[in-house]
Amino acid sequence: MQDASMQEVDESMSEEDLLMEQESLKQEEYLETLDKMFPNTKQGTLKYYNKEFLKTKHYDQFWSQPEASSYCNAKVIIDGGVGWYNKSYGGKGKGKTNPDGTPTSFGDPGRELEQIRTEKYEGCWDNKTGEKAGPFRLNIKHYQSYTGSTKSHSFSDEIKTIVTKRSGGKCELCGHKGRTEIDHFIPKEKGGGSTLENANVLCQRCNDRKCNKDPEQFMKEEVNRFFNYYKERGMEEQLRQHFTNTLSNGIS
């Protein structure tokens, strides 16, 4: 009886070990898949943090974009702020800072992950609820059979050249001269095409702030943000007068 009992325990442990091994292999396959999807990611970049976020998940675990945003922003602040890896900022711990000297965050890291999910690797993700907000998880089988995006989201090289020359290498919203992105004025999700008329050049922070908002919504938010900045500094009337003059006579 004792030998039979020991045999049952051994068989039970063997099955448990087998299940653990299968789970381990699936997780290993998941991590290897992420390396294929995010090759040569430069440490400290937004793509790097998004990849690291996905690596914290179990292969069968769902996640949300706000969760990804929180992770990326927390990590980049710990590392020293956006651009800490860039030599032009002095290396680790010397990235971009806010006016109060604290390290800056990305703004909306979930937006890039959304582009990866809906554009670069469309159809490779499960959506638990079927709603736009998800949550989501990577479907490895779908990725393995993936043949490329069926959507046309990118601007042509000709359009990129024209709008970059037009902007003078600066953000067309805030004037920042540095790394810029060519964005859709009317978001793709709202019917905006990848045309010259719908192309504008934005820095990463302005582009993150704009996200996929329609032009009127974004305009209202920007005007309110600008107005509140000067109102808090006692320049409300001067700003009103300037807006009135600008609308009447044009920019001066």
Three-state DSSP at 62 gives: coil
Tell me the Ramachandran region of residue 118: left when phi exceeds 0, alpha when psi lies from -120 to 50, beta otherwise. alpha
Mean pLDDT for 199-210 is 84
**Tens of pLDDT, residues 120-163:** 888 899 999 988 788 999 999 999 988 765 544 578 888 888 99
Q: What is the pLDDT of residue 153?
A: 54
Q: Within 13 A of 13's CA, how many CA atoms are on the CB side?
A: 6
Residue 203: the pLDDT is 85
- Tokens read off for 252: 């001066």
Least confident of 64-73, 111-120, 193-202: 111-120
Question: pLDDT, tens digit, for every residue of 41-79?
Answer: 988 899 999 999 999 999 999 999 899 999 999 999 999
Three-state secondary-structure class, residue 186: coil
182: enclosing H helix or E strand: strand 180-184
- Beta pairing partners, 125: 138
Sequence ranges of the domains in the chain: 10-149
Q: What is the pLDDT of residues 78-99, one digit of tens each?
A: 999 888 887 766 666 688 888 8
Is the pTM higher than 0.85? The answer reads: no
Identify the pLDDT of residue 29: 96
